[in-house]
Amino acid sequence: MLTLGIETSCDETAVAVLRGEREILSSVVYSQAELHSKYGGVVPEIASRDHLRKLPFVLKEALERAGVELSELDLISATYGPGLVGPLLVGLSAAKAIAYALGRPFVGVNHLEGHIFAHYLEFPEAPPPLLALIVSGGHTELVYVERYGSYRPLGRTRDDAAGEAFDKVGKLIGIAYPAGAEIDKLAKEGDPEAIPLPRPMLDSGYDFSFAGLKTAMVYYLREHPGARREDVAASFQRAVVEVLVRKTLITARKLKVRRIAVVGGVAANSELRARFREEARALGAEVYFPSLNLCTDNAAMIAAAARFRYEELGQRDELLLAPEPSLRI
């Protein structure tokens, strides 16, 4: 069984070929980040056009690396939401056209479920029930995964996503988009206690809020223009990490879940990984971080989710399926 996955919901053009449940024959990701960097964030119209330009080449490369002909594919899939409508349309239309031309089944995938399938791909030994924390530039979601395909969304951000907050604070101290990795690096040289910052919504409910942290930082920098960038990075990162770790672990204890999957671009953060591991151990829970290329946006996770839905749940979507920018899990 060969599944083609296409992912174009934001600023990565990605195509993957998956054999069976978990064998990634190829996973090609072309990032547009540099293109958007000078604007400080993703410009939807530029993203759409660049997906349109790059997708044929990324597709060709993915097939070549997999050593597979288009006609050998058994199932075609693409992300249909959530995301930017223009970018979504590009990948979705391509997938539908391929499925139609080949006469193969088509499955549309929820990008958030896709992120959960990064865990599925890498940790077959750690199946649900599990608690998934999806933290990326676009999302901060806490989801109870009873079994694959069956989700209970618990909480989400009420304003900025965790990664978005990293990117905005990065902008304040002159780091180009996306700023997460650079803040992570700077933070190692800074004092996490240097700047007093709130811990938004730490003890209230399942939702998150990160916009206030950025605002607090704006005010602080206005009064302390000479603040060290390292201290800004370290203090900000500490605040975000504390909130993410504490809220996730409190939830895990409440639901009596022993497995936690942390996925999405922010799962790359070194302090987040260290703190999660440390504090989960004390709770008797296990935390899983997929490898980096599966954490950030990719199409292997989309193909894996599609294969599962098609074979295990009997799903097959119509070619009329429209993009859903605000799709929820």
Rule CB under 5 A: choose which of 3, 77, 110, 136 binds Zn ion: 136
Binding mask 143-182 for ligand KG4 (x = CB under 6 A): --------------------x--xx----------xxxx-
CB of 183 to ligand KG4, least distance (A): 6
Site stretch for ligand KG4 (CB under 6 A), options 45-53, 97-105, 131-139, 249-257: 131-139
Check binding of 297 to Zn ion (CB under 5 A).
yes
Complex with ligand KG4: residue 251 or 296, whichever CB lies closer = 296
Complex with Zn ion: residue 136 or 140, whichever CB lies closer = 136
Q: Is 207 exposed, middle or buried (0-12, 13-18, 19+ CB in 10 A)?
A: middle
The span from the CA of 322 to the CA of 95, in Å, is: 12
CB of 118 to ligand KG4, least distance (A): 10
CB of 31 to ligand KG4, least distance (A): 8
Q: How many residues bind Zn ion (CB under 5 A)?
A: 2
Q: How many residues bind ligand KG4 (CB under 6 A)?
A: 19
160 Cβ partners below 8 Å, 6+ apart? 168, 209, 210, 211, 214
Complex with ligand KG4: residue 83 or 200, whichever CB lies closer = 83
Binding mask 77-116 for ligand KG4 (x = CB under 6 A): ----------------------------------------
User: Of these partners, Zn ion, ligand KG4, none, which one is at the site of residue 266 (CB under 5 to 8 Å by kind)?
Assistant: ligand KG4
Site stretch for Zn ion (CB under 5 A), options 11-19, 91-99, 122-130, 131-139: 131-139
User: Of these partners, ligand KG4, Zn ion, none, which one is at the site of residue 181 (CB under 5 to 8 Å by kind)?
Assistant: ligand KG4
Check binding of 70 to ligand KG4 (CB under 6 A).
no
C-alpha Rg value of the chain to the nearest Å: 20
Q: SS3 letters for the chain?
A: CEEEEEECCCCEEEEEEEECCCEEEEEEEEECHHHHHCCCCCCHHHHHHHHHHHHHHHHHHHHHHHCCCHHHCCEEEEEEECCCHHHHHHHHHHHHHHHHHHCCCEEEEEHHHHHHHHHHHHCCCCCCCEEEEEECCCCEEEEEEEECCEEEEEEEECCCCHHHHHHHHHHHCCCCCCCHHHHHHHHCCCCCCCCCCCCCCCCCCCCECCHHHHHHHHHHHHHCCCCCHHHHHHHHHHHHHHHHHHHHHHHHHHHCCCEEEEECHHHHCHHHHHHHHHHHHHHCCEEECCCHHHHCCCCHHHHHHHHHHHHHHCCCCCCCCCCCCCCCC
Rule CB under 6 A: choose which of 82, 114, 137, 200 binds ligand KG4: 137
CB of 321 to ligand KG4, least distance (A): 21
Q: 233 to 292, contacts with ligand KG4 by CB under 6 A?
A: 264-266, 268-269
Complex with Zn ion: residue 105 or 325, whichever CB lies closer = 325
CB of 227 to Zn ion, least distance (A): 31
Q: Are 245 and 202 in contact (CB under 8 A)?
A: no
Q: Characterise 85 by phi-psi region: left (phi > 0), alpha (psi -120 to 50), beta (else).
A: alpha
User: Of these partners, ligand KG4, Zn ion, none, which one is at the site of residue 155 (CB under 5 to 8 Å by kind)?
Assistant: none
Binding site for Zn ion (CB under 5 A): 136, 297
Residue ranges in contact with ligand KG4 by CB under 6 A: 10, 136-138, 163, 166-167, 178-181, 184, 264-266, 268-269, 296-297
